[in-house]
Amino acid sequence: MKNYIYHIVAVLTVGIWGLTFISTKVLIGHSLSPQEIFLLRFLIAYLGIW
């Protein structure tokens, strides 16, 4: 069972990483600049780690 947990975490990581490309396209379509998207992603990651 322990090996399955690592596989599940890896699949979730890949899924979240893949969703960032889609969300970036959507946010650029809603007239956010790449710098604003980078700032938002950085802040979300910082809060998640903190």
For the entire predicted model, the pTM comes to 0.64
Number of domains the chain contains: 1
Which residues of the chain fall short of a pLDDT of 70? 1
- Residue 27 to residue 37: CA distance in whole angstroms: 7
What pLDDT, on the 0 to 100 scale, is given for residue 50?
87
CA distances from 4 to 1, 7, 11, 13 (A): 5, 5, 10, 14
What pLDDT, on the 0 to 100 scale, is given for residue 1?
67
Q: Tell me the residue range of the domain where 44 lies.
A: 2-49
